[in-house]
Amino acid sequence: MLSRKARFNSHGQDSSYFLGWEEYQKNPYHHLHNPSGIIQMGLAENQATCTFVTCFYNLSFDIIESWLENNPDATGFHRNGKSLFRELALFQDYRGLPSFKNELADFMGEIRGNKVRFDPNRIVLTAGSTSANETLMFCLAEPGDAFLLPTPYYPGFDRDLKWRTGVEIVPISCSSSNKFRITKPALEEAYQHAQKLNLTVKGVLITNPSNPLGTSMTRAELNHLISFASAKRIHIVSDEIYSGTVFDTPSFISIAQAMMEYKNLEDTGIWNRVHIVYSLSKDLGLPGFRVGMIYSNNQTVVAAATKMSSFGLVSSQTQHLLTGILADKNFIKSYIDKNRKRIRKRKQMLVSGLLSAGIDCLKSNAGLFCWVDMRHLLRNDTFEAEMELWKKVLYEVGLNVSPGSSCHCGEPGWFRLCFANMSKETLKLSVKRIKAFVDSVGGIDSKGRMISPKRSNTPFVAMEVFTKVLDAPAFLVAFLFLQINKKLLASELVPGDRVNLRVSRLILKDQSHHPLVRDLFKVRVNVLDKLISQEIYYN
């Protein structure tokens, strides 16, 4: 029934990245209503509002909300006491509101420390960066042409760049040996690889700062890239959606700045082949507003992309509201500053929590996530082992994280953990769950030290794999569960009690054919829920 295009399999919705989201939707954590649910650490959003079933969190929503409270005209669509309803309802110029594009250009400059200026006439508005990236692929490449992308990269690119355009992605292999930096040989190797596959390379697409690494590109990397793209006469697309999240040194260098400061570019034509993608989804934390853009020096690309933008316009009331916010320069300066500080603090919380569990993160200076090294927790050095660990973390630990393989990382054992889409308390609980898990499985930490499975000395039930119990017959495991359940029913357990029971979901799954265990597996979920909620309420 569906067309070939609609059936085409490169949307990527069956990747672990999206599967994790689905599992989260089925059992979302809520501090009151579902305390044992899955915590969403797979969403790179700066998104604290709780409904009955879920929480919407943005580190800096309160700052924007206070602006909205102080500026009721903006949300009420009034100017100088007069309604703008008719004007906004009828506005249909697909090039967008000039006042909005002016403010957007200023905002981009502000985020880059005003080292570069942006011309509003070179902006094409799109429904988020998703649409901006796809539009650029339509404009720059034929179906079957290739773009080179450094790995690991944002999993959504498989959908955004390839699905409807027919464009191919050829990876530029980056590795942990040099902290995933882009090198000249890696660029050249990817280019040669594409040629061997008979693909015409149209450009390189970078994400700067990187999702999932949380690092911004160095000047040396940018210079390699510029000289490579000049020599090969190909395009550079720089997705700078996280440019406002840079919270630490080194400071952010946009491709626009790197180009300006690069020597001897005059005759290479590269100025016309560099395009920036941006959106307000991350820096203002407004992914629901669907506001993105393409910025290009190439007027032909700007004209073509503007025509294509009809398929993903930004509504006029959204443009109007954001014009008001962005025009308040003092507010914007203070927002950017506060937001960066909050991200830095939150990131530090996650990094130090993980470190206390023997887990290292790649040193980062940007983004709403950490690139976490869990290689020491793998059964062996394979992507199968990475998927095993991912499933354990999802179903047993209750955290939806993104495995490196979903970001096309070439080395098994790396995971992306997002920290800005949840409250401080939820982040603390995530870390607590990870620590309990690491304590239970033991292993060798990222520095090569042995971590033995140990008893938790925190006053809550840690569901740990305990080697003795691993060998225990099913009836013994079942018996232990009966005991704990009986105690709970008889209210013999009080909040904070430690229960000397160490088994894992795995054991039970392995023995799930046993009817007694099957029944008790259900009981166990209730028991855990009760205990975890007690821990949350009273500890």
Ligand X SMILES: Cc1ncc(COP(=O)(O)O)c(C=O)c1O
Nearest Cα to 159, choosing from 134, 179, 181, 182?
A: 134
Per-residue interface string for the shown chain with ligand X, residues 157-196, x marking contact by CB under 6 A: ----------------------------------------
- Choice between 242 and 335, CB closer to ligand X: 242
Nearest Cα to 61, choosing from 39, 42, 46?
A: 46
Out of 287, 324, 358, 403, the only residue in the binding site for ligand X (CB under 6 A) is 287
Residue 333 is among the residues annotated as catalytic for this protein: no
Cα separation of the two ends of the chain: 56
Transcribe 460-494 into DSSP letters: S------HHHHTS-HHHHHHHHHHHHHHHHTT---
Q: Evaluate whether 395 touches 411 at the Cβ level (below 8 Å).
A: no
Residue 154 is among the residues annotated as catalytic for this protein: yes
Distance between CA atoms of residues 30 and 50, nearest Å: 8
Written as six digits, the tokens of 389 are 């660990």
Which residue do the tokens 């530090």 mark?
A: 348
Under rule CB under 6 A, residue 279 binds ligand X: yes
The window from 12-20, 122-130, 345-353, 508-516 that contacts ligand X (CB under 6 A) reads 122-130
The nearest distance, CB 112 to ligand X, in angstroms, is 17
The size of the interface with ligand X (CB under 6 A), counted in residues, is 14
The nearest distance, CB 406 to ligand X, in angstroms, is 13
Q: Which residues neighbour 176 within 8 Å (Cβ) at sequence distance 6 or greater?
A: 362, 373, 411, 414
Out of 38, 39, 44, 427, the only residue in the binding site for ligand X (CB under 6 A) is 44
The nearest distance, CB 36 to ligand X, in angstroms, is 28
The window from 69-77, 123-131, 423-431, 445-453 that contacts ligand X (CB under 6 A) reads 123-131
- In the set 169, 182, 234, 241, the catalytic residue is 241
Out of 244, 292, 398, 412, the only residue in the binding site for ligand X (CB under 6 A) is 292
Nearest Cα to 495, choosing from 522, 461, 463?
A: 461
In 326-347, which positions are buried (b, 16+ CB within 10 angstroms) versus exposed (e)?
Answer: bbbeebbeebbeebbebbbebb
The nearest distance, CB 154 to ligand X, in angstroms, is 4
Q: Evaluate whether 239 touches 208 at the Cβ level (below 8 Å).
A: yes
The nearest distance, CB 18 to ligand X, in angstroms, is 12
Per-residue interface string for the shown chain with ligand X, residues 192-231, x marking contact by CB under 6 A: ---------------x---x--------------------
Under rule CB under 6 A, residue 129 binds ligand X: yes
- Nearest residue to ligand X, scored by beta-carbon proximity: 128
Detail the DSSP E strand segments found in 208-346. 235-239, 274-279, 292-296
- In the set 17, 29, 154, 278, the catalytic residue is 154
- In the set 106, 239, 360, 373, the catalytic residue is 239
- In the set 101, 282, 347, 392, the catalytic residue is 282
Q: Evaluate whether 335 touches 64 at the Cβ level (below 8 Å).
A: yes
The nearest distance, CB 342 to ligand X, in angstroms, is 19
Distance between CA atoms of residues 212 and 394, nearest Å: 19
Which residue do the tokens 């042409």 mark?
A: 145
What's the Cα-to-Cα distance from 287 to each of 13, 22, 356, rounded to whole Å?
Answer: 19, 19, 33
Residues of this chain, 10-39, that bind ligand X according to CB under 6 A: none
Under rule CB under 6 A, residue 281 binds ligand X: yes
Under rule CB under 6 A, residue 156 binds ligand X: yes
The nearest distance, CB 508 to ligand X, in angstroms, is 36
Q: Evaluate whether 463 touches 504 at the Cβ level (below 8 Å).
A: yes
Under rule CB under 6 A, residue 241 binds ligand X: yes
Which parts of this chain interact with ligand X (CB under 6 A)? 44, 128-130, 154, 156, 207, 211, 239, 241, 279, 281, 287, 292
What residues are annotated to the active site? 154, 239, 241, 282
